[in-house]
């Protein structure tokens, strides 16, 4: 219609808002929940950090002061974390990259969120956590990151060094408690000047 004939011009467009003819109050668009084609769903305000070893995954779902926490998982790699936080019911859904042994899933809740330990069904690195596109709210926990070579060395040398190489460099008796004990007894005998037939000298302490 022509505005000159008394019609009312439409209100100006405001970014981030929708207006309706039946109401003067604007409707504010809510933040969108992250949903990926692989089936992972992460509510706004929630972040997931993770790290892996060849046989397991460690996850931390950052939820402030979670209450009424419920965690479930399946061998197919579907993980569900539900919790109340700040008067909201949060539902996190993760479709993992591969299969897990759901019977070994362990989790704990604290004031900072929910931590999970998941056992892989097959040994091997995944390099990604979820199937499909990884949401921006899923991050690698670099403080817990260990590459494959470091993991292999940690399993071979749990004390932090190659005991066989050290034994070759220090001698065949290196690391033997028995050898140390015998050496200590020999040294003690060398400096002991007392005789078995001598009477013990009485010593008083004050």
> Average pLDDT per run of 10 along the chain, which is 206 residues long?
51 41 36 64 96 96 97 97 96 97 97 97 96 95 87 73 55 58 70 61 50
Calpha distance 100→122 (Å, rounded):
8
Q: Which residues contact 134 (CB under 8 A, 6 or more apart)?
A: 36, 128
Side by side, the strands of the sheet bearing 88-95 are 34-35, 41-42, 88-95, 78-85, 67-73
Instruction: Output the pTM of the full model.
Output: 0.60
Q: Is 77 left (phi over 0), alpha (psi -120 to 50) or beta?
A: left
State the pLDDT at residue 156. 76
Question: Can you read off the two tokens belonging to residue 65?
Answer: 């002061």
In this prediction, residue 129 carries a pLDDT of 97
Q: What pLDDT is attached to residue 27?
A: 36
d(C-alpha 73, C-alpha 79), whole Å:
4
């Amino acid at each position: 219609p022509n505005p000159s004939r008394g019609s009312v011009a439409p209100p100006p467009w405001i970014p981030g808002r929708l207006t309706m003819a039946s109401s003067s109050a604007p409707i504010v668009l809510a933040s969108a929940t992250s949903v990926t084609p692989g089936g992972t769903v992460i509510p706004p305000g929630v972040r997931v950090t993770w790290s892996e070893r060849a046989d397991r995954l460690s996850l931390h779902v950052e939820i402030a002061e979670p209450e009424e926490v419920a965690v479930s998982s399946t061998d197919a790699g579907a993980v569900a974390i539900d919790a109340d936080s700040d008067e909201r019911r949060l539902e996190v859904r993760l479709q993992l990259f591969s299969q897990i042994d759901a019977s070994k899933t362990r989790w704990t809740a604290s004031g900072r969120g929910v931590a999970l330990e998941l056992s892989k069904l097959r040994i091997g690195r995944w390099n990604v956590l979820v199937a499909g596109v990884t949401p921006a709210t899923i991050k690698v926990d670099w403080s817990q990151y260990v590459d494959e070579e470091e993991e292999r060395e940690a399993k071979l040398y749990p004390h932090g060094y190659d005991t066989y190489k050290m034994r070759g460099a220090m001698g065949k008796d290196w690391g033997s408690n028995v050898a140390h004990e015998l050496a200590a007894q020999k040294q003690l005998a060398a400096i002991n000047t007392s005789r078995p037939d001598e009477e013990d000298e009485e010593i008083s302490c004050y």
